[in-house]
Amino acid sequence: MKATEARLTAALDRPPADIRLYLLHGPDESTAMAYAARLARAMGQGAERIDLDGATLRGDPARLADEAAAISLFGDARHIRVTAAGEESLDAVEALLAAPSAGNPAVMIAPTVKATGKLVKAALESDRVLAFACYPPNARDAGGLAAEMARAEGLRLSPAAMQRIVRAADGDRAVMQREIEKLALYLDAAPDRPAEADEAALEAIGADIAEGELGEVVLAATGGEVAVLLESLRRMGADASPIPILRALVRRLTMLADLRIAIDGGEPAEQAMKRRGVFWKEQAATAAAVRRWSVADLAAAQAAARRTEREVIAAGGAGRVLADAFLLRLARRRGR
């Protein structure tokens, strides 16, 4: 059945016995992972988590139902998390819904399936599933979301602080949540002892990636400038979230692909960059980068960047290391 956000969060925080599967579909994988983490917290600290993915379920459709019915060796609570699920998981979901029993709840993250696809349709038709579409918030929604998260932590964000958090996180819900939690800890805030949070507090905890720093990282990675990239990452600091960096990189790669196609079609490089609004200070670096990339390489790099973002989200605290390693590999290849 289709779930509202309020119904979904209530069920994740207190999993009802009649819900076997939470299907989180749509392109905002970060939000889906944040919802999956709520189920993990609800199951308790000692709960066992079984990790599966779409490829596993394609080869063994009965695995999901088997895990849902299995009993932990030590009698602890169990739950299942399925990542990178697609239409190939339909048989596994149907087997889960048809099984005579399933005591362990499952959350399935399916960012690539269409809302009109068979997997979502099966979920919507079953009263044993809660299906929810995850889409990135627009600028207005992201601001309201940040303010709501802050209130839950006992914070009253100033308008400037709210916009800065949204901009630094690139609208990413999980990143905003982490920055707000750090801010609440710094200000010793809680729902029973609220605190005002302004830009000075954000400066104190370093909860922002300067747009200039982010641009330097992306320009260096796509331009093959390894030394510049290393220095830019160092200045950014170890606590900076990698999600805005990776998303800015995807936007840069998309723009370079558009330019490469236009130039290959005969449009002068200067005219192509002007028509696409390339900042004048970045035109020389952009022209050099376009010469280094083919359209096929740019498409492959975009796919790799999106895959790295998923890995970063799953890795939690170690995600920055994964992102930095990916950026360095990218820069070294372009440098050669």
In the chain the domains, ranked by start, together with CATH numbers, are: 5-133 (3.40.50.300), 139-205 (1.10.8.60), 211-335 (1.20.272.10)
74 CB neighbour count, 10 Å cutoff? 7
CB–CB of 261/295 below 8 Å?
A: yes
CA–CA separation, 146 and 282 (whole Å): 32
CA end-to-end span of the chain: 52
Order of strands, sheet of 78-83, starting from the edge strand that comes earlier in the sequence: 48-53, 78-83, 106-110, 21-25, 129-133
Find the farthest-apart pair of alpha carbons in the chain and give their distance in angstroms, rounded: 68
pLDDT of residue 20: 97
The number of residues in the chain equals 336
Alpha helices in the chain (DSSP H): 5-13, 29-43, 54-59, 63-69, 90-98, 118-125, 139-152, 159-169, 173-187, 199-205, 211-223, 226-236, 243-264, 269-275, 283-292, 295-315, 319-335
**What's the pLDDT band for 85 if we cut at 50, 70, 90?**
very high
Distance CA 126, CA 220 (A): 49
pLDDT-derived band at 11 (thresholds 50, 70, 90) equals very high
CA distances from 201 to 144, 237, 240 (A): 20, 17, 16
Question: How confident is residue 175, by pLDDT bands cut at 50, 70 and 90?
Answer: confident
Tokens representing residue 134 in the block = 């995850």
What are 51's strand-pairing partners?
81
Cβ proximity of 144 and 171 under 8 Å: no
Per the listing, tokens 């005591």 go with 103
Q: Which of 45-49, 89-93, 120-124, 212-216 has the lowest mean pLDDT?
A: 212-216
Distance of alpha carbon 176 from alpha carbon 28, whole angstroms: 14
207 pLDDT more than 60:
no
Q: What is the mean pLDDT of residues 63-83?
A: 89
Q: How far is CA 26 from each of CA 33, 107, 134, 206, 241, rounded to the nearest angstrom?
A: 12, 14, 5, 31, 22
Higher pLDDT pick, 152 / 127: 127
Residue 210 reports pLDDT greater than 60: no
- Give the per-residue pLDDT at 274: 81
User: Rounded to an integer, what distance in angstroms lies between the CA atom of residue 125 and that of residue 27?
Assistant: 22
Average pLDDT score over residue span 180-203: 89
Give which of 298, 297, 179 is closest to 243, Cα–Cα.
179
DSSP code for 316: G
pTM of the prediction?
Answer: 0.61
- pLDDT, position 329: 93
> Which pLDDT band holds residue 100 (cuts at 50, 70, 90)?
very high
Residues 245 and 262: their CA atoms lie apart, in Å, by 26
What's the CA dihedral at 24, 52, 246, 324 to 10 degrees? 150
Instruction: Give residue 34's pLDDT.
Output: 84
Q: How many whole angstroms separate alpha carbon 271 and alpha carbon 224?
A: 24
List of residues 6+ apart from 242 with CB closer than 8 A: 312, 319, 320, 322, 323, 324
232: region left, alpha or beta (phi > 0 left; psi from -120 to 50 alpha)? alpha
Which secondary structure element, helix H or strand E, spans residue 72, and what is its range? Answer: none
Q: Which is more confidently placed, 48 or 206?
A: 48
Give the 3-state secondary structure of residue 157: strand
